Chains A and B, each alone.
Chain A
Amino acid sequence: MADPILQVSGLSLRYQTRHGEVKAVEDVSFKLLPGQVMGLVGESGSGKTSVAISLMRLLPDNARVTGGQVLLDGRDLLSMGFEEVRSYRWHRISMIFQAAMNSLDPVYRVGDQILEAIETHNPELTKREAQERIAGLFQLVGLDPQLTQRYPHEYSGGMRQRAVIAMSLACQPDVVIADEPTTALDVIVQDRILRRLKEIQSDLNMSMVYITHDIAVVAEVTDRIGVMYAGKLVELGDTSDVFGSPIHPYTSALLSVFPSIRGPKRELVTLPGEPPNLIDPPAGCRFHPRCPYAIDACQTEDPPTVERGSHWAACWNPLPVQTGPQETSGPVSLEEQ
């Protein structure tokens, strides 16, 4: 097996707030191999975006990394000095933000914003070379190169998202982190952008961490997925294995709460309760208050790792192995109303 390009080990992160310390990310570890696309899925507040922004060292002032390492070519991003991090950002590791959020500056032409990143990280390029690269990037993401001279407000939502993808590729990074890049878009536009992103990823053999709450998008885009719940990584494995036979009851619930337009109409499953408050998370497994399979040990002790081939989960009472043909999603129903 190839050496991982990115290795996260034991990452823990807390936010200081007026109400107390939020234990947002707890002991998260994973590896990303070259050319691999890994999905991080979970609901709001599960810590997936916190993991992403710590990989970019873009944490807000009230955040504190309490442990762990993020190794990129064997160098720990978390212990680097500020200037050194700047030399890594965009150049080695970059991020595709949700374009609906304000990731483009409204008062600069879109091309100039990308030019700025290239000038900073590739000072050896002449302006003409940099502009040629931007035109090439626009073609790559399916935008007319003439649009570099336009302002963000002249773009539609889909065009803005393409521009943000072009920007993330500007300095030819090895690792790209995509944070919900299509969440705000209509399905037809989403479909085009996902297809283009997959093509670019395989053409450039790019490694990617893809963050989303949308199970269907993860199923289509990723090779591996990590499922996060309440700040912890609860299950990690090859996408087909995790979807085919989830080990953790939360993963199974997440797969079955998603309504689908295809296949026979299944009974819609709901997941009772709410995610815990991470100022004072539950002891033991953080999912135990909502878990229909919880046993006594779940309430007090951290769950052990259950391994099945390429795939593991942290659970005291794992689901049995699924064999044979399956329905499109996990068959476990938690509460049918």
Chain B
Amino acid sequence: MTVSSGLPDIPSAAGSPTPLVRVESLTKLFPMSRGLFRRPSAHIHAVDDVSFELFEGESFGLVGESGCGKTTIGKLLVKLMEPTGGRILFQDDRDTAGGQTLTDIVDTSGKDLKEFRRKAQMIFQDPYESMNPRRTIFDTIAEPLSVQGIGSPPERMDKVRDLLELVGLTPASTMLFRYPHELSGGQRQRVAIARALVVEPTFVVADEPTSMLDVSFSTSIMHLMSGLARQLGVTYLYITHDLAVARYMCQRIAVMYLGKIVELAETEELLSNPLHPYTRALLSAVPSPDPAHQRDPVNILGDVSAPVNPHPRCRFHDRCPMAAPQCYVESHPPMEDHGGGHLVACYRV
């Protein structure tokens, strides 16, 4: 299915760059059943009616606590999972003459799907689990090429060498035939990056690529990824629980809470002027590496619950320090623009 761009329902600044990915009302429910053959008794609303756009060449951060649905969005966007509802429109570069077109990838299959798989790649969190221990580094990185039928074997070898150099695993000749267990966590994550980039994707979902690594490795992986984004023009969806990492990796950040995006803004704007009470709590909970700094108290009530058949009200109302009677009766607040593309879903802002 091909639809033209320019759908009106998502606010965006005039003259904004072209979207590479447009997500519309994306929803993913996971059925919960008690017993093997029972009907599902309830659903977990992992991602619930989420809309946003990723612009070409930007790095877009998806931030939130465990279980907020950020990884589910990542998997949906590279089609490792099928959504329950909504559309994921991906820029189709086959039709460059008449302006850009967006293709809904939810229903793609066959040749189109294979082409999409080349353009959209994913980097996983755990470099110890995401690689086959019996395969050499060369086999690991070259596999996407053979799946896609790109290049002859000698060409693939050259390509893999180039990529190893690019991600800083040098000299490439000494790395090619090693196995994952011979590499450190930081080196493995470089292999994972090389594997994602070998098919020259335009879009990469990076799911907490540095959270398993020690600090000295994680900053160099962050440097590498942002350098490659500039060099190769890759668009990232960068998933992380760490706002400080998102600050350095992303131009815009979306904050998620229980399956909903509650706030979306440019990075420095979000950090300096958080509007949603959840974002404020999240920011004030981050410890400060300055012994003299006194943090504000974290203003949030109770504990996080699971989004099992949630009430249609604001997802945050039961933990919100500023909830008003309105928040207990009306449906989840819509995302509203508070200036300069700073979107917030809250009645109290």
Contact = CB atoms under 8 A, between A and B. Distances in A.
Q: Does A pair with B? A: yes
Nearest to A269: B219
A43 interface: yes
B219 A220 contact: no
A292 B290 CA distance: 24
Interface in A295-337: 328-329, 337
A1 to B, nearest CB: 21
B285 A260 contact: no
Contacts of B186: 274
B241 A260 contact: no
Contact of B268 (A219, A265, A328, A329): A265
B214 A216 contact: no
Contacts of A188: 65, 281-282, 285, 298, 300, 304
Interface of A: 43-44, 156-158, 186-192, 194, 213-217, 219-220, 239-240, 243, 253-255, 257-262, 265, 268-272, 274-275, 328-329, 337
A157 B290 CA distance: 27
Interface string B256-298: 0000000000001001000000000111111111111101001
> Considering the complex of A and B, which 9 residue pairs feature the smallest CB-CB distances, nearest first?
A216-B287, A259-B244, A271-B216, A186-B65, A191-B285, A43-B214, A216-B289, A187-B285, A270-B220
B227 interface: yes
A158 B300 CA distance: 15
Interface string B111-136: 00000000000000000000000000
Nearest to A42: B214
Interface string B209-227: 0000011110110110001
Interface residues of B, number: 39
Interface string B281-321: 11111111111110100101001100000000000000000
B244 A44 contact: no
A44 B219 contact: no
B252 to A, nearest CB: 15
17 contacts: A43-B216, A186-B241, A188-B65, A188-B298, A190-B285, A192-B298, A216-B286, A254-B216, A259-B219, A260-B288, A261-B243, A262-B288, A265-B248, A269-B219, A328-B290, A337-B223, A337-B227
A110 B300 CA distance: 27
B247 to A, nearest CB: 6
A298 to B, nearest CB: 19
Nearest to B186: A274
B18 interface: no
Contacts of B219: 257, 259, 268-271
A114 B300 CA distance: 30
Given A213-B215, A216-B287, A265-B268, A186 B293 contact: no
Given A219-B293, A274-B186, 13 more contacts: A43-B215, A187-B285, A188-B298, A191-B284, A191-B285, A215-B289, A220-B291, A258-B244, A259-B244, A259-B245, A259-B248, A262-B290, A271-B216
A329 B289 contact: yes
Given A259-B245, A262-B288, A328-B289, A191 B298 contact: yes
A219 B289 CA distance: 6
A104 to B, nearest CB: 19
Contact of B222 (A190, A253, A268): A268
Given A216-B289, A268-B222, A261 B283 contact: yes
A217 B288 CA distance: 7
B157 to A, nearest CB: 27
Contacts of B287: 187, 190-191, 194, 214, 216-217, 219-220
Contacts of B223: 268, 270, 337
Name, among B268, B282, B290, B303, the residue most crowded by chain A CB atoms within 10 Å (CB to CB): B290
B184 interface: yes
Given A43-B215, A219-B287, A240 B292 contact: yes
Contact of A258 (B285, B289, B293, B304): B289
Contacts of B215: 43, 213, 215, 254, 257-258, 271
A216 B244 CA distance: 11
A261 B289 contact: no
B33 interface: no
B66 interface: yes
Nearest to A43: B214
Contacts of A186: 65-66, 241, 304
B286 A213 contact: no
A303 B283 CA distance: 41
Contact of A243 (B214, B281, B291): B291
Contacts of A275: 216
A272 B220 CA distance: 8
B285 A239 contact: no
Nearest to A185: B66
A44 B214 contact: yes
A260 B271 CA distance: 11
A189 B300 CA distance: 11
A43 B185 CA distance: 13
B337 to A, nearest CB: 24
Contacts of A259: 219, 222, 244-245, 247-248
B182 to A, nearest CB: 12
Contacts of A262: 288, 290, 293
Contacts of B268: 265
A233 B47 CA distance: 47
Name, among A215, A239, A259, A337, the residue most crowded by chain B CB atoms within 10 Å (CB to CB): A259
Contacts of A189: 303
Contacts of B227: 337
A275 B213 CA distance: 13
Contacts of A257: 215-216, 219
A181 to B, nearest CB: 13
A148 B303 CA distance: 19
B247 A213 contact: no
A272 B292 CA distance: 29
A217 to B, nearest CB: 5
Interface in B53-110: 65-66
A272 to B, nearest CB: 8
A231 to B, nearest CB: 15
